[in-house]
Structure 1
Amino acid sequence: MVEFSNADWQAIWLTFKLAAAVTFILLIICTPLAYWLNKTKSIFKGPLIALFALPLVLPPSVLGFYFLLAFAPNTWFSQAALALGFGQLAFSFTGLLIASLIYSLPFVLQPIYNAMQSLHTGSLDAAATLGAGPLDRFFTLVIPMIKPGLFTGAVLGFAHTLGEFGVVLMIGGNIPGETQLISVQIYEYVESLEYGKAHFLSGFMLIVSFIILWLVYKLQPSRVHE
């Protein structure tokens, strides 16, 4: 009977830990970013939106290759990370986290940005007339009004990070307990022709992914009317 090994449990824990960290950080980054993108009249708005959306169309191997170059020990980026106490970025969990933030950013940003576009500005204008400042309007009006977008962005960002492979393999390699995620563990099983173990772990991810996506469609309508 096939069952999860200690290495499998480590990979599962590491994968969910990475997905949770990425989702939390991206929600903090993307919410004010989406608000600014909706408000700004800057000529750089279009190029910035295109730049943030690049991970949607670029092959993961392309992103992984440039991340690997950026994380090389002699680059200014790696030197700055070392100076800040983050340690070596290539083949480390920190490197995976940074790469995953960029790789999953559009999956969190886009739903929040779309929710921002559908905001009723009348409520915001009325609050401003009554003396509410920008931060007050943002936290008391904008955030509650975009809850469906925040929810969708959080779920999609989490699910997308769970399924990473190309980027994490090039950046993190396959270090047990440090960078060996579920997708890499499955790849290792396939490479060693252990199809039973690969099937068992893949089936687990299939069920988890289905539940996550089902929750999006199940809970989203109720949240829209809150």
Structure 2
Amino acid sequence: MNDPNIIDWQPLWLSLKLASVTMFILLFLGIPLAWWLAYSRRRWKVAVEAVISLPMVLPPSVLGFYLLLAFSPANAFGAFLSRYLDLRLVFTFPGLVMASLIYSLPFMVNPILAGFRGLPADLKEASQTLGKSETVTLFRILLPNIHTSLITGAVLSFAHTIGEFGVVMMIGGSIPGQTKVASVAIYDEVLSTNYPLANRYAIVLLALSFAILLLVYSINHYYNKYKALP
């Protein structure tokens, strides 16, 4: 019989897996999106930026509720995925990934967007004057100059996904080995009044979150110190 006071590491590894997958996908999505927001002259890009940042102010339970409705096979989008792509997003790990991508998107896009907007305007113009394409300018000129923003976005989106509860609970529930991440495990232990085990899960997440933030601030500190040197 398993000791109820011993940590089951599976929810923690599942949280790390979810955060890692989400972070890498968001890097591929966030870079072109932030680049477009920084340099596009479309007036309606302000609305796009507001939609991207909406998860930062929207209660997670509200976002999770509407995603649950959208992903449900009983509704049009969920039925389309289930019928034509054989993909079920409710109470599955792919559903957690999709929800996490939406929930953590602003934590990736906003730092990268701030990095692009902080670059001198003539940097992009000089590259184009030399005949460089938009793609070459992005990957050879712009991104190397905002690498701290890329690291910040990646680490913050990873940390944000690690700590999310409301959205993953609404979409995934608490299925061991599939959707029961660490934050849900804490909730389950609190409901069963097993506070010592809930405390152990919480301490691990607290230590992990602190280490992640310490990494971000250390990188930014040493980079700013390096830039200040003659």
Task: Place the TM-score, normalised by the shorter chain, in its bin.
Answer: over 0.9
| Inter-partner Cα distance in structure 2 for 1:78 and 1:137 | 39
Residues 30-67 of structure 1: CA distance to partner in whole angstroms, max 9, x if unpaired? 11111111111112111111111110101011001101
Q: 1:202 to 1:71 in 2, by over 3 A?
A: same
One-letter amino acid of the structure 1 residue matched with residue 9 of structure 2: W
Q: Decide whether aligned partners of structure 1 residues 86 and 19 sit closer, same or farther in structure 2, where only a CA change above 3 A counts.
A: farther
**RMSD across aligned positions (CA):** 1.5
Q: 1:124 & 1:37 partners in 2: Cα distance?
A: 15
Q: Which runs of 5+ in 2 are unaligned?
A: none
Q: CA deviation at 1:98?
A: 0.5
Q: What letter is aligned with 1:123?
A: L
The equivalent of 2:128 in structure 1 is 128
1:186 is matched by which residue type in structure 2?
A: I
Q: Which residue of 2 aligns with 1:114?
A: 114
How far did residue 74 of structure 1 move? Answer: 2.6
1:161 maps to what in 2? 161
Distance 1:88 1:124 in 2: 43
Aligned-pair CA distance for 1:129: 1.7
Q: SS of 1:146's equivalent?
A: helix
TM-score between both structures, scaled by the size of structure 1:
0.94
CA deviations over 1:13-40 (Å, ceiling 9, x no partner):
1100000011111111011111111111
| Identical positions, percent | 45
CA distance in 1, matches of 2:119, 2:83: 42
* Aligned pairs, number: 223
CA contact 1:12–1:182 (8 Å) conserved in 2: yes
Between the aligned partners of 1:109 and 1:140, the Cα distance in structure 2 is: 19
Tell me if structure 2 keeps the 8 A contact 1:64–1:168. Answer: yes
> Aligned partners of 2:60 and 2:125: how far apart in 1?
43
Alignment partners' CA distance in 2, 1:140 and 1:70: 39
**Corresponding letter in the other structure for 2:208:** V
Q: Partners in 1 of 2:86 and 2:123 — Cα distance?
A: 43
CA contact (8 A) 2:72 2:79 kept: no
Partner of 2:78: 78
Q: Deviations over 1:114-145 (max 9, x none)?
A: 00101123232222222111111111011101
Corresponding residue of 1:144: 144
Report the counterpart of residue 55 of structure 2 in structure 1: 55
